[in-house]
Structure 1
């Protein structure tokens, strides 16, 4: 995790004390100097029940700002020189795409932050004059910019920075479209295949199954708003609902467990934003259970700048729709 701290004596002691009280263990840390603030990166371990948002709060209460949490693997404890040398080896000897390596080294997955301020952009120059752009929610430090540019320059000299061609997919791509009354049974079947955890994240309450036809109809043709579905073959594998609640537009989505992690949620977020914009919305709010950190990552992957707030035990993620192209049938 990474946070910005005031450059003053005692601040690290306050961070360490807060972590100790929260039973968060600091395994390693790295300092990116600055004035009047510094950026510190911590590798920590916490109890399995602690969410990324709760971990961020520990550091915020101890004086940290711009707190960002990113889940890492065991190699996070390696020093940076070792990690970059390993990345160089993966490109030159393993034939891996340099952009993919840099994204791993820089941790470009959108983090779970209490105040998500969008993406910082890193433009790297190849020897042949072309550029490689990498974006991340957490601002890049000068040291990270220098390291990334040095790695790209080295592999460019070796002629190894040409992206590898990916084989074409053999399975049909999922189709995102507006829901119709013909989707009532498909939406009900989608919910039937979802786990209790997925249903809870969507509805913030236990949902009785099987779903009634009345509820499925409301999800397909809402009273105020519209619905979208993601279809693969004959199955509905994702569903999103745009609704106007008083003066606020909301979007709720659900993705079948077997299809999670394949970009379906990102597709629904983009569709929901475009559909809401067509209905006249200026902002769109996603509502989810407090323990669901995945939705914030999905909104970030869709390219939106978000404001995260807590209301009545749930998390509200609000994005402005300025510049979003309205989607209409």
Structure 2
């Protein structure tokens, strides 16, 4: 048996797809996978089939025509074609996570394209597609022109390509948000947003290991953001901002050996920038009343007034975007 890829258009009417599949079955052609692309000209059916070794391309074309298929495209397929389209797209998205520069190669693989050309920013190229060309905006700048003589591109393929471009854009945005923090003593830290891959690093930062559920909430809060400062891939500090409505609640943890070096202030400033972009009204920090170093840090960031005290815990309101730091009621801290 031999693998073939078949693409043909049929009228988008009840029963027409079954006529085509029956015509292939009569010739001992086994359909391994099928995708349906809706177009203005009808339903474009994309098959991966296993056909007898003796069957020729012409015989497959004849079977398609007898099954009421038109505009047929038939080509031999490789074993990697056995992966279904969602799996293929997810694999390529995963590749971009590790290599954002591979977008052009990923588009070629996704679309089985013959060629991809990159044009620099400033070149007048309208994004969109026709039968043989697809133009996509490169999130890093410029545009990609993807070419495939046959079969014709479909709206579904254009949507998939756009989705892959958006994955690349999201990865580049996250990378752009990474900054290098230069400490007064010359040490350098990388400051970035936390991800699910940071669970173990954050666990080691805590003197008492949090539960798995709480750890995940710390690293990726449902609403808000967590920033990490890392030295040689080791997490040395973290700052979390959890939001509820227009109010944010900040927490900070710096490894003992890295305290009193400006890291907490830098992380909290970035949290306040994030709060301003999110249009929060205020950010509240809860701190032990005898934590002199933290209180000094918060005062530097604009906290005024005595705050609100509950036993040994002091709640102080940080100003956001020039708004006054007025103490207000806050949601209870959760684990």
TM-score bucket of the superposed structures, by smaller chain: 0.3 to 0.5
TM-score (norm 2): 0.41
Using CA pairs below 8 Å that are at least 6 residues apart, which structure has the higher relative contact order?
1
* Structure with the higher strand share, 1 or 2: 2
Q: Greater Rg, structure 1 or structure 2?
A: 2
TM-score (norm 1): 0.42
